[in-house]
Amino acid sequence: MESNNKIQKVFGLDLPNHVDNFFFEFGGVQIEHVDNTQLLKYANQFSIKKLIVHENFKQNEETVVKLLEQKQIDSLIIYSLHPYWLPNILKRLETFSQTCEIHVIVGGYGIDSGPNIKVHNIEVHEHTLSHSFVLLLSELLQKKRQQTVPFIMQTVFKDNFRSQIGRYLKTSKLWPYFYKISQDHTSDFLLQKRNDILKQFQQQYGSGQYLSSLKAFGNGLPNFKLYEQVFCELVLETSNTGSWHFTEKTFRPIALGIPIIHLGHKPMYDRFLSYGYKLYDNGFYNKWHKKDDLSEKLPYLENFLQHIIENKNAKIEMSKNAEHNYKIFWNERKNCYYKDIENIFQIIFGENKLTNKIYNRLDF
């Protein structure tokens, strides 16, 4: 960690613009961008004090490892929006963590980094969705909601976990209580649809901040006519084993004030509650998390949904929780992101982070 105001050059290896913006806007870090050839040239002249790489790091892995072997990098910072690719590379980098300070800033959890690599978790999707324009859209939705359908399940069934849940519910007696949407769309189809819609908006309404807010939904743009009618959304996240992260699938309904049933695994459930969010429970979640075999616990889900349909108090409590989660999301959690980032930059850059620079300059 830096403890003085001496400015040290920070190199970024083939970084995309959004990573450069992250370090500059939040930390005031001015990055000198280099490719493999330039990095090796500099390393022949002096030790690289700080090097930032992105999750596309795989294509530059051998260059970085070579410099680590030569002890030419003092501090390596890995920035990744996704946790899935990290365990393998971190296992390799652990060898060098005795001689090089290694930090990982990652939008996710469940990463076995070893004892010497410092992992810093950030909630990127929660933060980007807490845009003022999304808040305004959510207030419009709340005025128009007249729930006529109990449940909605919006997901791409491209893994066994989501596919098995989808097949079970479609053949159950509960399927008539679900809002009917196409269950066959691919991620590529949804991305193209989103891009087409945003292009139309840009042509009609110009390039305002609203575009950034809508891009925060990823492939899952909200269908407000749908949300006006449904009571509750079943959330099936991208990954439910190993490395995982919360995406717009979790935070979209929360940001819009929609009750949810969250079907993630126990670590996801515990993390979600630790943020101050609430989930209605009649004993379902303990059963859901206790069993490993998905086929054995799907009847618990069916019984839970049936309970919600039949029990008026259950729906009342779920609505109260949705209101509570809505307030936590908009009034508390969005500020936690900035504090988390500040703490991360304090650890990595010390007094050279942006807030310290501005604070010290404002002496007149």
Q: Are residues 73 and 134 in the same domain?
A: no
Q: pLDDT grade, residue 111 (50/70/90)?
A: confident
Mean pLDDT confidence for 132-150: 97
Residue-wise pLDDT tens digits, 69-106: 999 999 999 999 989 888 888 989 999 999 999 999 99
Residues 264, 241: Cα–Cα separation, whole Å: 9
The SS3 of residue 21 is: helix
Query: Which one-letter amino acid corresponds to residue 135?
Result: L
Cα distances (angstroms) measured from residue 161 to each of 86, 110, 237, 243, 298: 22, 18, 10, 15, 11
Mean pLDDT confidence for 276-284: 98
Q: What share of the chain is helix, strand, coil (3-state, %, to 5)?
A: 55, 15, 30
pLDDT of residue 115: 86
- On average, the pLDDT of the chain sits at 92
Is residue 73 included in any domain, yes or no? yes
Q: Are residues 148 and 287 in the same domain?
A: yes
pLDDT above 70: residue 49: yes
pLDDT of residue 225: 95
Is residue 358 included in any domain, yes or no? no
Is residue 321 included in any domain, yes or no? yes
Residues 250, 281: Cα–Cα separation, whole Å: 17
Residues 265, 41: Cα–Cα separation, whole Å: 47
Q: Are residues 113 and 134 in the same domain?
A: no
Q: Are residues 38 and 175 in the same domain?
A: no
Q: Are residues 153 and 94 in the same domain?
A: no
Residue-wise pLDDT tens digits, 209-222: 999 999 999 988 99
Is residue 21 included in any domain, yes or no? yes
pLDDT of residue 183: 67
Domain span including residue 97: 10-121
pLDDT of residue 57: 80
Hey, which residues does 116 pair with through a beta bridge?
none
Of 61, 95, 121, the position where a domain reaches its end is 121
Is residue 342 included in any domain, yes or no? no
Higher pLDDT among residues 239 and 96, named by residue:
96
Residues 53, 248: Cα–Cα separation, whole Å: 25
Closest to 83 (Cα-Cα) out of 58, 59, 112, 108: 108
pLDDT of residue 6: 46
Q: Are residues 185 and 326 in the same domain?
A: yes
Q: What is the DSSP string of 131-186?
A: -HHHHHHHHHHHHH----EEEEE-----SHHHHHHHHHHHTSTTGGGB----S---
Q: Are residues 113 and 159 in the same domain?
A: no
Of 106, 121, 136, the position where a domain reaches its end is 121
**What is the side-by-side order of every strand in the sheet holding 230-235?**
149-153, 230-235, 260-262
pLDDT of residue 16: 94
Q: Which residues 6+ apart lie within 8 Å of 301 measured at CB?
A: 165, 168, 169, 263, 284, 288
Q: Are residues 233 and 143 in the same domain?
A: yes
Query: Which one-letter amino acid corresponds to residue 88?
Result: N
Q: Are residues 160 and 290 in the same domain?
A: yes
Q: How far apart are the first and last CA of the chain?
A: 29
pLDDT above 50: residue 246: yes
Percent above pLDDT 90 for the chain:
80
Of 121, 146, 176, the position where a domain reaches its end is 121
Q: Are residues 142 and 256 in the same domain?
A: yes
Q: Are residues 180 and 103 in the same domain?
A: no
Q: Which residues 6+ apart lie within 8 Å of 140 measured at CB?
A: 224
Count: domains in the chain = 2
Is residue 45 included in any domain, yes or no? yes
Is residue 339 included in any domain, yes or no? no
Mean pLDDT confidence for 138-157: 95
The SS3 of residue 91 is: helix
pLDDT above 90: residue 4: no
pLDDT of residue 241: 80
Is residue 351 included in any domain, yes or no? no
Closest to 272 (Cα-Cα) out of 158, 136, 30, 109: 109
φ/ψ of residue 151, rounded to 5: -135, 155
Q: Are residues 275 and 140 in the same domain?
A: yes
